[in-house]
Structure 1
């Protein structure tokens, strides 16, 4: 069976022969007699048909290539996505592994400017107490922070434990306990970034316990030492209550 390409070549050759015969024989009546008008028209129609068939085949090939290209592009995008997922999964895995290892061996870290060694289970103890505070369970929070301070006296989390313990006592209306706790924090860590906020709670505790003079002194110290801070703004507003 002839292929479309072979048929096209045969028809083209036939048309070429027809044209050559007409040119060579000129306008001779005997030359025109060799090929009838029907044969010439048929050759032209066959040529057009072959061209149309070839164009359809070419278009089919082009469409097929486009489809294959789209499929390859899809596969490439899928591979890229898989690569991103694997990278993300590996990152999560190593972070989780790092966290797990941290639960079994001491680690040196820096918390709000204070560096120190964190023992296994130390961060969890702090986090548990903080969660209790955030949940409004003030008694449990205070007990948790107090236990933490006793067990980890050199922890870089200790200033935060003292700070939240003082706030827990204040929120639970244990003003004397809050004053003692916050004064201890301020004395031990005078340059800690939590000190301005701790002093505001200290002044409030002094004010609530009826010691307006002490509260006024604390608020004045905040305004003088930490101007242009939220703590200073709070102290300025609270000064009116000390009169």
Structure 2
């Protein structure tokens, strides 16, 4: 019985020891879990705090960066607006300068046109004042423009048949231009104008003056024949015959001499 009880007690002791050991190990395990839990909670708390701090810092940085970006954007916007304003001002100035340049070009063209017109006008005036060469009855000479105008005007009047006005114009011309190259012709046609208005004495005087100054003129034979015609109209056949003889003797080869030869037999006296 005793032999049996010792092992039993030993087994009981071992069991109790194991229980004590088991209870101590369990107690130690419980202690370790609690510490670990605390450590985990503390770590979580620190992680959460760090995360919160990081978020706060990130938010702060984001706010700061956004503020800086916004400020930079506003500065950039202002710079762009200033640049656009400068560009618009430059465009307006360029347009103004272009308009001014175009206006200046138009003004210059107008000034040049006026200068050209003035130059042409002056040239025309100078041409009117410059002597002009004319040829009349085979003779070339120079005359002033006004001198030529008055002569041509008188001749146009004569051709129109207004002998009185033509005679006045030719007489005025000779008075104003006594040494003109037109003078001989003017005297000849003055005699014809006087003949046309039946002023035969004045016509004879004009023809004789013409012959005295220009005996070799191409119209001299015709002028002498006209003197004879005036004498015939004045019923002075003797004077007419003498003049017709003079035409034949002085200008024998002229057409006027041929006409004198044909007329001479018809003049009785």
Normalized against structure 1, the TM-score is what?
0.55
Shift of 1:116: 4.0
Structure number, greater radius of gyration: 2
Relative to 1, partners in 2 of residues 1:239 and 1:110: Cα closer, same or farther, differing over 3 Å?
Answer: same
Is 1:177–2:206 an aligned residue pair? no
Relative to 1, partners in 2 of residues 1:223 and 1:105: Cα closer, same or farther, differing over 3 Å?
Answer: same
Which position in structure 2 is the counterpart of 1:235?
260
Relative to 1, partners in 2 of residues 1:237 and 1:213: Cα closer, same or farther, differing over 3 Å?
Answer: same
Counterpart secondary structure, 1:103: helix
Moved more, 212-221 or 109-118: 109-118
Shift of 1:119: 2.0
Normalized against structure 2, the TM-score is what?
0.50
Matches within 5 A, 1:29-178: 102-107=127-132, 109-178=134-203
One of 249, 257, 260 as aligned partner of 1:224: 249
Residue segments in structure 1 that go unaligned for 5+ positions in a row: 1-97
Residues 144-170 of structure 1 show CA distances to partners (whole Å, capped at 9, x for unaligned) of 111111111111111111111101111
Is the CA contact 1:132–1:140 (under 8 Å) kept in the aligned structure 2?
yes
Relative to 1, partners in 2 of residues 1:99 and 1:186: Cα closer, same or farther, differing over 3 Å?
Answer: farther
Moved more, 224-233 or 110-119: 110-119
Shift of 1:228: 3.4
Residues 150-201 of structure 1 show CA distances to partners (whole Å, capped at 9, x for unaligned) of 1111111111111111011111110001001000000011111110111111
Relative to 1, partners in 2 of residues 1:185 and 1:152: Cα closer, same or farther, differing over 3 Å?
Answer: same
Which position in structure 1 is the counterpart of 2:222?
197
Shift of 1:237: 2.2
Shift of 1:106: 2.5
Distance of 1:99 and 1:112 partners within structure 2: 28
How many residues are aligned here? 147
Which position in structure 2 is the counterpart of 1:78?
none
Relative to 1, partners in 2 of residues 1:127 and 1:229: Cα closer, same or farther, differing over 3 Å?
Answer: same
Is the CA contact 1:133–1:168 (under 8 Å) kept in the aligned structure 2?
yes
CA RMSD of aligned residues (A): 2.3
Moved more, 175-184 or 215-224: 215-224
Counterpart secondary structure, 2:129: coil
Is the CA contact 1:116–1:154 (under 8 Å) kept in the aligned structure 2?
no
Residue segments in structure 2 that go unaligned for 5+ positions in a row: 1-122
Shift of 1:239: 1.1
Relative to 1, partners in 2 of residues 1:154 and 1:113: Cα closer, same or farther, differing over 3 Å?
Answer: farther
Relative to 1, partners in 2 of residues 1:124 and 1:161: Cα closer, same or farther, differing over 3 Å?
Answer: same
Relative to 1, partners in 2 of residues 1:102 and 1:225: Cα closer, same or farther, differing over 3 Å?
Answer: farther
Distance of 1:164 and 1:224 partners within structure 2: 24
Q: Which has the higher contact order (CA 8 A, sep 6+)?
A: 1
